[in-house]
Every structure is written in structure tokens, then in C-alpha cells.
Amino acid sequence: MFVAPAFAQEQAPTDAVPLTHTPPITEGTTEHVEAEHTGVFPPFETSLFPSQILWLAITFGLFYLFLQKVVLPRLGHMLEVRRDRIAQDLDTASRMKEEADAAVAAYEQELADARAKANVIGQEARDRAKAEAEANRRETEAGLDTRLAEAEARIASIRNAAMAEVGGIAEETATAIVEALGGTPDRSAIASAVAAQRS
């Protein structure tokens, strides 16, 4: 690309050929190497269109290929990896949450079971204590009943004995009263009288 100014000057006439807007080329225009000096509004300077088209095609073409082959696959891959990673992390999180929920449920279940079991144990203990107390009470009552019966029997026997002796005492008393009154006690009469009173 080492082009001497002389070469550029050589090209000047051919450069100027496509410039239809410019006046016919004369000897004096040869120093106008730069097309922009022709006075045409630069964006409409048609002589420079081929150069711009060519270099745009080269640069944009290379840019397009570079992006398509290198940059975009890389960016796309990166974003995909991140999306997968986020989805995976969310999955893990939801799975862990499920596990935690299950653990909580199991805990609640165990707690309920333990409570139920405690109730059963308590109920059993209460029932047993009640039964024991009942048995004790029965035993005591039975003991008391027998002692009561024994006492009643003793009272009855004592009373019977006492009642049996009442006749004798009454006869003796009657005899003593009769004697004190100065009579002679008639034992048989007294005994029959006593017996008559008692019956």
C-alpha cells in the first residue's frame, strides 16, 4: 500500500471521470487529487461510492463473521449456562423445601403420636391406680364388715349372756327384797313370777 503522491496524481484524471456533476476536466484540475474539493456535497460524492461499498463490505463482513463464529456462540452459551444453573438451583431449593416440609410433617406426626402414647400411659396409670384404690377399699371394707360382724356377734352373745343372767339376778333381788321385808322367800314362786315377767 505504499503509494507515492505521484501515483495518486496519476489517478486524478480517472478519479474525476465518474464525477458527472463536475465541469469537464481541464488541464488545471489535475492537482485536485481529493475528490471532495470538487464542491459536491460529500455524502453525494459518487466517485467515492465504490471505495465505501468495498470497505463496508470488508469490515462489516468480517465483523459479521467474527460475531457469528466467536462472540455470539460464547455469549449464548454463557447465558444458557446461567439459565440452567438458576433453574437447577431453583429445583434444588424447591426439593429442599419439600424435604423440610416432610421433616416438619414427620415431626408433627411424631409429636402427635407421643402425645397420644402419653395419654394412653396416663390413662393406664390412672386406671391401675383407681383399680388398686378400689381393691384396697374393698379389702378394708371387707375387714371392717367382718370386724363389725364379730363385734355384733360378741355384743349379741354378751347380751344373751346378760339376758340369761337377768332371771337369776331378778330372782336373787326378789329373794333379797322378800327377805328384807321379812318374808320367807319361796324360790319356786319367785322363779315362776320372774319367768312370767320375762316372757
Partner 1 sequence: MANDPIHQFQISRLVPIEIGGMDFSFTNSSLFMVLTVATAGAFLFLTTSSRGLIPGRMQSISEMSYEFIAGMLRDSAGTGGMKFFPMVFSLFMFVLTANLLGMFPYFFTVTSHIIVTFMLALFVILTVVIYGLVKHGTGFFKIFVPSGVPAAIVPIVALIEIISFLSRPISLSVRLFANMLAGHITLKVFAGFVTSLGALGAVGIGGAILPLLMTVALTALEFLVAFLQAYVFAVLTCMYLNDAVHPGGH
The binding site for partner 1 (CB under 8 A) comprises 1, 3, 7-8, 11, 14-15, 17-18, 33-36, 41-45, 47-57, 59-60, 62-64, 66-68, 70-72, 74-76, 78-79, 81-82, 85
Q: What's the min distance (Å) between Cβ of 90 and partner 1?
A: 15
Report the C-alpha gap between 138 and 123 in whole angstroms. Answer: 22
Helix, strand, or coil here: 151?
A: helix
Q: What's the min distance (Å) between Cβ of 17 and partner 1?
A: 8
Joined together, the cell numbers standing for residue 106 give: 414427620
* For partner 1, the closer CB: 59 or 192: 59
* For partner 1, the closer CB: 62 or 153: 62
Q: What's the min distance (Å) between Cβ of 67 and partner 1?
A: 5
Q: DSSP assignment of 112-147, as one string?
A: HHHHHHHHHHHHHHHHHHHHHHHHHHHHHHHHHHHH
Q: What's the min distance (Å) between Cβ of 97 and partner 1?
A: 23
Report the C-alpha gap between 39 and 37 in whole angstroms. Answer: 5
Which residue matches cell numbers 480517472? 14
Report the C-alpha gap between 34 and 145 in whole angstroms. Answer: 144
Which residue matches cell numbers 320372774? 194
* For partner 1, the closer CB: 53 or 149: 53
* For partner 1, the closer CB: 55 or 107: 55
